[in-house]
Structures are given as C-alpha cells and as structure tokens.
Amino acid sequence: MRYNQIMCGRYTLRRADLAAAALRALQQPTFEEFSEIHRPGLYNIAPSQSVPVVRLNGEGQRTIGLVRWGLIPSWSKELPKLQPINARAETVATSGMFRQALERRRCLVPADGFYEWQGAKPPKQPYFMRLADDGIFAFAGLWERWRVSENKEPLDTFTIITTSASETMSPIHSRMPVILDQADYDKWLDRTRKGSDVVDLLKPFTGALETRPIGTRVNSVKNDAPDLIEPISKAG
C-alpha cells in the first residue's frame, strides 16, 4: 500500500496513559489495554499503526480508542493502494477523498510532539517539535469506517490535516499539522456543525513551539525509545 506523505509522517505520544484525561475522553476497552502495553509511551508513531484517537459516541461524549493511521474512505469498494495519512486544509472541503469525513467524521488525534525532516535531498536533518510546556495537544483529524463486506468487522482509519507552516516551523518545512486550540475541541467534534463551519480552525499554530535537531535513528520506524528526541548540535 502507498501513503500520501504530504507532511507529518511521524509523531509522538510519550504519555499515552494520560491522553484520555488530557482530552477529557472516556476510555474504550481497547485503549485501556493499549495504554498498559505501551507505557511509558510512543516515540515514533508511523502510518499503518493503530493509535489513540478521540471521537464522539452516540451520546455525544468524547471517547478515546484505537484507529489505524491511513484513511480508507467508507465508499471504497476494495482496499485502495492510496491511504492518505494527511489531508491539505486548503482542499479538504472540496476533495472527493475527504469532504464526506469533514462533514460528519471529525476527530482529535492526541500527541505531544511530531517530527519533520529539513532539506530537499538526502541526507535530511530530522527535527522534533513540541509545545513549549511539553503538554499533550491534539491534531485536527478525520476518520472513516470501511467494510470489505457485510460479514466482516469494520476497519476505522484516520488522517491528519496539514496547513501552511507557522513562523517557527517555516525554516524547517513549508507545512505543518493543524494543532487545534483546546477551546476549539468541542467545535471541531460537534457533528451538528457543517464542514464549512469549522474550516476556519484549520490554520497554522500560533502558540509557542519548541524545535530541536535530533539524530537520524528516528528515520527507522523500528526505533521507538526516549533517546530519539534527544537534541544534537547541527555540527553533530
């Protein structure tokens, strides 16, 4: 399968066991098991992995459970080769791939950092980004439920929306994931709001963001350890 790697192809949730409380979400059984297994956290989340995502249940409550990264539209008749991990904020409302999800299936993707690579050609320099207070935040996400057939279990998948880079991010990359303000979580999740009512939230992050160059061990998804985010000098 192929992934549409526009930007934001790796991120962290180093305190997965705290994500439910940070986003005021009820824990689904799968998340409780996941949180126990993955303590203290995830340092190199990559496409195709099933990771915590916050959605509204039928009663309008926030719930946190596991969803696979790489969107499969509900209307797809077979497993597509292209499973986008990102959606562009500028075209998400008009794209046939994303517009239905924007209208009815928006989600929060908990994170406490993300990676990006600087440079047009290899070797690229990886960077780690986090909030200045190193708190848990949420990316703006979309999710879909896909069934290969009626007698098979459905598969839930998601994508992360990206936008143009903030002033802090622009020296590293031209784009960045949409980091929602906490005050906008309810608005983003509210299913009574149309997509046109929430696209104004899809903007560059204006809060304090810390960036640091790191080592190249993050390049391999097999590596998942605290030392991945340790800073290095550019000379190093």
Closest CA to 63 of 133, 98, 110: 110
Catalytic residue among 8, 36, 90, 153: 8
CA atoms of 7 and 143, how far apart (whole Å): 18
Reply yes or no on whether 8 is catalytic: yes
CB 172 within 8 A of CB 131: no
Q: Tally DSSP H helices, then E strands, for the chain.
A: 5, 13
Q: 33, 36, 90, 116: which one is catalytic? A: 116
Q: Which of 114, 202, 107 is nearest to 162 (CA)?
A: 202
| CA dist 164 → 4, 7, 77, 135, 136 (Å) | 17, 10, 33, 22, 22
CA torsion sign for 54, 55, 57, 59 is positive
Cis-peptide, bond into residue 231, ω within 30° of zero:
no
Enumerate the active-site residues: 8, 116
